[in-house]
Amino acid sequence: MKEKNIISKFIKKSRAEAKLTQKELALKAGVGLRFIRDVEQGKISLRTDTLNKVLRLFGKVLGPVDLPGE
């Protein structure tokens, strides 16, 4: 699934640019280290509210997106 790869890559890249370890990102976002690892590995089933805690640190949130060609 393409969407999960986009989110995984975005968080991993943003974390690296912020010079944060996975553990540091988890602490800042108020989520578990396991969650950060799962996100970066592209786990398909994730809680959107928890994912938004992480994305907010980088000025983003999940939202509805139109599919191409629809």
For the chain, helix, strand, coil in percent to 5 are 60, 0, 40
| pTM for this predicted structure | 0.76
Domain count, the chain: 1
pLDDT for residue 33 = 97
In this prediction, residue 1 carries a pLDDT of: 45
Distances in whole angstroms, Cα of residue 61 to Cα of each of 46, 65, 70: 14, 12, 22
* Structural domain contains residue 67: no
Q: Give the domain range for residue 24.
A: 2-56
* pLDDT > 90? residue 10: yes
Q: What would the mean pLDDT of 16-41 be, rounded to a whole number?
A: 96
CA dihedral 17, 21, 23, 25 (to 10 degrees): -10
Q: What CATH code is carried by the domain that includes residue 31?
A: 1.10.260.40
The reported pLDDT for the residue numbered 43 is 86
Residue 35, classified by CB atoms within 10 Å of its CB into exposed (0-12), middle (13-18) or buried (19+), is: buried
Tell me: pLDDT of 44 over 70: yes
For residue 2, is pLDDT > 70?
A: no
Whether 57 and 29 have beta carbons less than 8 Å apart is answered as: yes
Please compute the mean of the pLDDT values over residues 12-20 and round it to a whole number: 97
